[in-house]
Amino acid sequence: MALSETAVMDALRTVQEPELGRDIVTLNMVKDLEVSDSAVSLKIELTTPACPLKDEIERNVHSVLGNIGAKEVTVTWGAMVRRAQPAQAAQLLPGVKNIIAVASGKGGVGKSTVSANLAVALAMEGASVGLLDADITGPNIPLMLGIEGAPAASPDGKITPLERYGVKVISIQFFVPEGQPIVWRGPLIGGAIQQFLRDVDWGELDYLVIDLPPGTSDAQLTLAQAVPISGALLVTTPQDVALADVGKALAMFRRMSVPVMGIVENMSNFICPHCGEATEIFGRGGGERFAQRNELEYFGGVPIDVKVRQGGDAGVPAVAQREPGAAAEVLRALARQVAARMSVRAAQAAPAITIS
């Protein structure tokens, strides 16, 4: 018996987008539906190409259509990332849909490593991504991505960011001689960040990742006042001294009404490459306990992995390596989780508008 388009759509109404809690028909995610006898083909337009629950959605689509008699189901995929704030709130960066600030409060916890791998992982999933190195006095992003050169001017006189691994990158390091220290007072640092936001031709981006410097000072204040941050990601290590500083960063963001998505614990443990035993060098579970106390989402722990250090020195992020280690898997999962949280925030920001 031939299927009808109405019957197919009614069946698809029972398939939920797990993160958003609504069905894929109501969310206008079903595109290009074709029904021929007992064969069905459709495209599902995700709210992010880095959707972590894509496989679950596909299984449910096959299941509900099989239940109404579909013998052949073909699913293709698209993605349309939505902005987490109204467009009028993003006047300085109109083409940027979501701004993700990566902060730590304390130096040396791997914040830049997380920023670089987050940006590259999102780009590998198919998103358009930019990475702003806002650590003006200690810019490490160019080294970690293996990117050199001087940005050129765009046709309209703006700065054209350099690109590596599908990520548009800007850093003060591109404008100063190698090895020259940047000894600037706070207002100059704030001014440089303003210029990177205002005068760089970022174009159309799904996500702009901003690697903030340690501490709670001019750079953070400038950023929070200049642009609507979609969400902040906090990076810590397990020990108390790192958690004390990340607590200050959390308090700062909350005072400035910047939404904090959650926390990722770097250097959670060291897994011996010979015996496989995990050694918790910096303590155990500090990041997860901090997340529970402060009602934050815990995005998991990144193990100490020599491939992360080797990649950072060689300009090849862990997630982009041909033979990635254990840390790369966690960092890729982090990127998918962050993208999912951005999708949820976008849906909450426009509750009366269906996602298409």
pLDDT for the residue 89:
52
* pLDDT of 348 over the 80 cut: no
CATH for 87-349 is 3.40.50.300
Identify the band that residue 352 occupies on the pLDDT scale cut at 50, 70 and 90. Answer: very low
- Rounded CA-CA distance 35/9 in Å is 10
* pLDDT of 156 over the 90 cut: no
pTM of the model: 0.89
Dump pLDDT digits (tens) for 169-196. Answer: 999 999 988 878 888 887 888 889 999 9
* pLDDT of 63 over the 90 cut: yes
* pLDDT of 61 over the 50 cut: yes
pLDDT for the residue 178:
81
* pLDDT of 222 over the 80 cut: yes
pLDDT for the residue 356:
37
Please provide the average confidence, as pLDDT, over all residues in the chain: 89
Where do the structural domains in the chain lie, given as residue ranges?
Answer: 5-79, 87-349
| Alpha-carbon torsion, ordered 37, 77, 10, 14, to 10 deg | 130
Least confident of 87-91, 127-131, 214-218: 87-91
Sheet with 30-36: list strands edge to edge.
Answer: 30-36, 39-46, 72-79
Question: Environment class of residue 88 by beta-carbon count within 10 Å: exposed (0-12), middle (13-18) or buried (19+)?
Answer: exposed
* 116 Cβ contact list (under 8 Å, min separation 6): 131, 141, 144, 145, 211, 312, 317
For residues 115 and 252, is the Cβ–Cβ distance under 8 A? no
pLDDT for the residue 85:
65
For the segment 242-268, the average pLDDT, to the nearest whole number, is: 93
pLDDT for the residue 106:
85
CATH superfamily of 5-79: Fe-S cluster assembly (FSCA) (3.30.300.130)
Residue 63: what are its φ and ψ, rounded to 5°?
Answer: -65, -50
**Beta bridge partners of residue 98, listed in sequence order:** 207
**Beta bridge partners of residue 133, listed in sequence order:** 171, 211
For the segment 266-288, the average pLDDT, to the nearest whole number, is: 85
